[in-house]
Amino acid sequence: MMVFLIMAGMTPNFYFFMHGTHVHHLNYGIFLLCLSGGYGIFRRPTGLAAEITAFIYGIGLGLTFDEFGMWLHLGGSYWQRVSIDAVVIVGCSIALVGYVNTIKKWESRHTAAFFILLVLFVSFARVLWVVGDKLGSMVGPTLEQLEISSSP
């Protein structure tokens, strides 16, 4: 939301520029991943410190994968569809890994819930694909123009 507000001129430009180069937030994410990952490996926090470390790691992961399209293609427009897809895939993967322990206690009711969730996930992916393409073709040129006009 902040990107839209900044590009529309409705809020101050909080982007960080270094010698005329826009430092994208994936760089902040990479630093947060490095710092929290290193702290987690070398200090092995427990309790509240472990939760805060995991929270900071999650923020870094979100900031990094939000601009996945830019680091996959090494540049390009901020509005790349592959970034949205990457965030959805990473989020779903993390959710699946988070529930791996429940497989040990699998019951028949879980099978029904699994298939319902699978149908919902496939339906959501289809809607996201169709709407994303149509929305991208309708709004994409305007967003690209806003991006160009907000650059220093």
Write the pLDDT tens digit of every residue in 8-67: 777 776 677 778 777 777 888 899 999 999 999 999 999 999 999 999 999 998 888 777
What is the average pLDDT score of the chain? 75
* pTM > 0.85: no
Q: Specify whether the CB–CB gap between 60 and 33 falls below 8 A.
A: yes
Residue 80's pLDDT band (cuts 50, 70, 90): low
d(C-alpha 104, C-alpha 61), whole Å:
28
d(C-alpha 104, C-alpha 79), whole Å:
41
pLDDT at 139 over 70: no
Q: Specify whether the CB–CB gap between 78 and 147 falls below 8 A.
A: yes
Q: Phi then psi for 49, rounded to 5 degrees?
A: -60, -40
Mean pLDDT (whole number) for 133-149: 66
Residue 82's pLDDT band (cuts 50, 70, 90): low
Looking at per-residue pLDDT, the higher value among 138 and 117 belongs to 117
Position 133 scores a pLDDT of: 66
Position 53 scores a pLDDT of: 95
